[in-house]
Amino acid sequence: MDNESMGFNFNSLTVHALQEQLQSGATTSVEAVTSLLAAIAERDGELKAYVTLDAEDALAQAAEADRRRADGEDAPLLGIPLAIKDVLNVTGQPCTCGSHILQGYIAPYDATAIAKLRQAGAVFVGRTNMDEFAMGGTTENSSLQVTHNPHDLDRVPGGSSGGSAAAVGGGIAVAALGSDTGGSIRQPASFCGCVGLKPTYGRISRYGLTAFASSLDQIGPMTHDVRDAALLLGAMAGVDPMDSSSVDCPVPDYTAALSGDLKGMTLGLPQEYFVKGVDPEVESAVRAAVARCRELGAEIREVSLPHTEYAIATYYVIATAEASANLARFDGVRYGRRAEGATDPIDMYGKTRAQGFGPEVKRRIILGTYVLSGGYHDAYYLTAQKVRTLIRRDFEQAFEECDALLSPVTPTPAYKIGEKVNDPLQMYLGDMFTATANLAGICGLSVPCGTTAAGLPVGLQIMGPAFGEEQILRVGHAYEQAEAGS
């Protein structure tokens, strides 16, 4: 059975198109999931996007969705198959976070985002690969396997949500979930040629998301088009008593914002994001996308975000400090791996963490412990929090005159596997255009905007103010539709 053996082309099948087929009776969820599993079997051997696949359970969920539909139910995502980044807890499934330290752990509960999708009727097909504990930008830091870019198998898919991006971009997922701490949805979406949305901090509950950096992490969708991102956001958004950082504000119908034009909108170009070092083909594609937005009726205005140059240093102080605290819970006592041969509890902690964590996670724990240590807390962590406030104020001032900001997602297209894995500083610099949104707590969207001469995708980043998802989705959808019709 090949990728289109039952009339499904998962390279382009959207959530909303499959919704229509299911609602009309043209197909069933069991047929869709059966065909998707065949596509995964055909191609995932080379992509290595999935780390766990339970076909029997996926088909049982699909059969239940079909039964619910036959009984007259019409939940928003009834029967839609989704791939889940291996950082989100789903009842009865492993949640390894790409790490040896969580070997054997089976989630006893659903993350709130998963519970909401389950209530909406979604089918969870498999779990996707990721950089260990979401720390990395290539998915090479996974302790399980290296995922490959579907557009060039010798290149990285980005990270940390590289498995989800490769599954969607490679035609073996209808849509997927990722998490974004410093660009981990938007960057792999850009590298793999799909849409990736990082919602505003607090828009989606983080309960059940294994924490990397609690003040930066956010769950979001990775999809074939902007309408799908709007649909999935609407299903997951909302306040949650289990997450005190989730915000109690109305959840709009995000699809209603997809008007198709940009008349009356003002879009800003942050001059600090169009600088020396950006690949010429990336800048050319992004500037062509900006010109298209102007044609659609938007006013384009240059703006400044003057504290951008401090963003990477600030991000890697705050993120590693929070990681140091969050990852202290993985000690071999309560769940996951426990080292053998320890002589006492302290020896067991040390051996378990030494054996269970990979080098990048250890590096960040050490950095984070250092910046929180006595004598250095004020010099590093407290100073970083002050700079974070300045970065947020930069955005607030820009949004006083602009509805959204346009920029590249990354300075370069996807690079070769192994090219930067031994040079973490160069890899960290790849977050320079994305980490600012996490520091400021705002929303960001990556939309494909062309390819390089080598056929590598390029992403346009659209950033909006806090809880301004309707604005960035409107921009992304109008641009996407204009390009599709050209």
Task: Name the catalytic one among 29, 35, 48, 85.
Answer: 85
Task: Name the catalytic one among 35, 184, 246, 324.
Answer: 184
DSSP bridge partners of 40: none
Q: In which residue are the tokens 């080379």 written?
A: 46
Q: How confident is the model at residue 424 (pLDDT cuts 50, 70, 90)?
A: confident
Q: How far apart are CA 136 and CA 192, in angstroms?
A: 16
Please say if the pLDDT value at position 478 is more than 80: yes
Q: How far apart are CA 84 and CA 68, in angstroms?
A: 23
Give pLDDT tens digits for 283-310.
999 999 999 999 999 999 999 999 999 9
Query: DSSP characters for 158-179?
Result: -SSSHHHHHHHHTTS-SEEEEE
Q: How far apart are CA 41 and CA 36, in angstroms?
A: 9
Q: In which residue are the tokens 């240059």 written?
A: 302
What confidence score (pLDDT) does residue 5 get? 45
If we measure between CA atoms, which residue out of 172, 199, 205 comes closest to residue 186? 199
CB 18 within 8 A of CB 78: no
Q: What class does CATH assign to 15-257?
A: alpha beta
What confidence score (pLDDT) does residue 36 get? 98
CB 395 within 8 A of CB 305: yes
- What would the two tokens of residue 136 be? 């990395």
Q: How far apart are CA 448 and CA 452, in angstroms?
A: 12
Buried b / exposed e over 31-48, threshold 16 CB at 10 Å, is bbbbbbbbbbeebbeebb
Query: DSSP characters for 236-299?
Result: HBS--TT-TTS-------GGGG--S--TT-EEEEEGGGS-TTS-HHHHHHHHHHHHHHHHTTPE
Give pLDDT tens digits for 211-231.
999 999 999 999 999 999 999
Q: Is 184 considered catalytic here?
A: yes
Q: How far apart are CA 39 and CA 5, in angstroms?
A: 9
Q: How far apart are CA 210 and CA 29, in angstroms?
A: 30
Torsions phi, psi for 451 (to 5 deg): -135, 160
Hey, is 393 helix, strand or coil?
helix
Torsions phi, psi for 377 (to 5 deg): -55, -50
Hey, is 479 helix, strand or coil?
helix
What confidence score (pLDDT) does residue 119 get? 97
What confidence score (pLDDT) does residue 248 get? 97
Hey, is 155 helix, strand or coil?
strand
Q: How far apart are CA 173 and CA 36, in angstroms?
A: 7
Please provide the average confidence, as pLDDT, over all residues in the chain: 96
Query: Would you give the DSSP letter of residue 199?
Result: P
Sign of CA dihedral 97, 143, 412, 155: negative
What confidence score (pLDDT) does residue 1 get? 34
Residues 6+ apart with CB under 8 A from 145: 48, 51, 129
Please say if the pLDDT value at position 262 is more than 60: yes
- What would the two tokens of residue 399 be? 């949004």
Length of the chain: 486
Rg of the chain in Å (alpha carbons) = 21
Instruction: Count the helix, strand and coil residues of the chain and give each as a percent rounded to the nearest 5.
Output: 45, 15, 40
- What would the two tokens of residue 94 be? 């492993």
Q: Is 244 considered catalytic here?
A: no
Q: How confident is the model at residue 3 (pLDDT cuts 50, 70, 90)?
A: very low
Q: Is 85 considered catalytic here?
A: yes
What confidence score (pLDDT) does residue 6 get? 60
Give pLDDT tens digits for 350-363.
999 999 999 999 99
- Indicate whether this model's pTM tops 0.95: yes
Q: In which residue are the tokens 């828009």 written?
A: 203
The helix or strand, by DSSP H or E, that contains position 68, with its residue range, turns out to be helix 55-70
What confidence score (pLDDT) does residue 164 get? 98
How many Cβ atoms are within 10 Å of 313's Cβ, its own excluded?
14
Pairing of strands 266-270, 81-85: unpaired
Amino acid identity, position 55: A
Mean pLDDT of 110-125: 98
Q: In which residue are the tokens 């339970």 written?
A: 54
